[in-house]
Copies of this chain bind each other. A is one copy, B any other.
């Protein structure tokens, strides 16, 4: 294991110490660094909380800030935070308008967020949930409820965060989040494994010339493992899957996120985006918004994912709105 760390057991908490020292825009509650909240909560606004395991920066906590989320419960590496931590975050960010949970479709997180919402309910805090399941590779059409949540959750955060910032009600923000969720599709590909600090060795092994299409962000298996193909062919295969699911007609508009899993250089992500843009052009689909970079990682895993959000006028406005978090900044056009 080649990592900058002290005792692996302290990894997450030392990372959090670094984050709080670097970014006064965020703070924590309940005397627990793993209960992160924005330092400038807006009264009357719908609160948005997320949560999940560490090891995916900027996911999840990185999106706490203006125009995005209000709080995040932080788990150990690839582990769910506790229901208690989620509940503490919920209490802290509720500004009377209720709280929306947006997180990924993993059993540990679901079980804990469910427990947290029961606890919040006892306090009279209204909670709604939106469970990201954008990973096309993880289950077939008709079984979308089994799909994992991966990088596409960024679009859900962005849209719901902007809607909440505009002052809409919990029902409205929840509606927007659900719409963004249902219109987001992601396909990923991994080239190498990550190493969980407390485990100390690669989560899985993969041949020097192999790729795995559809692999999950914790190393969950994908659809096919085969010889690494040229970048264009990799994108073609991934986009075929996405195009097969939703009807992108000429004149439609989309937002595109090309996400690096951690170990892949930014240069390569742009080579991948180039091909995505060619395919969209070929279909007469306009790319209205583009993000290329690391938005949801798996530690040092080499690989990438492509997420497509099928826009309508409302989503176009919301994803284009300004946002300013320690890890994500966007100037409105």
Contacts and interface: CB of A to CB of B under 8 A. Distances in A.
B274 A14 contact: yes
Given A18-B277, A265-B300, A266-B58, A6 B329 contact: no
Number of copies: 2
B262 A18 contact: no
A294 interface: yes
A204 interface: no
Interface in A187-207: 191-192
Given A4-B304, A57-B266, A302-B2, A274 B231 contact: no
Interface string A154-198: 000000000000000000000000000000000000011000000
Contacts of A331: 324, 329
B263 A15 contact: no
Decide if the interface of chain A is mainly helix, strand, loop or mixed: mixed
Interface stretch (A19-27, A95-103, A214-222): A19-27
B274 A11 contact: no
A267 interface: yes
A154 to B, nearest CB: 15
A211 B1 CA distance: 12
Given A22-B290, A231-B6, A277-B22, A297 B17 contact: no
A243 interface: no
Nearest to A230: B6
Interface of A: 2-7, 11-12, 14-19, 21-23, 54-55, 57-58, 191-192, 208-209, 211, 228, 230-232, 234, 262-274, 277, 287, 290, 292, 294, 297, 299-300, 302, 304, 324, 329-331
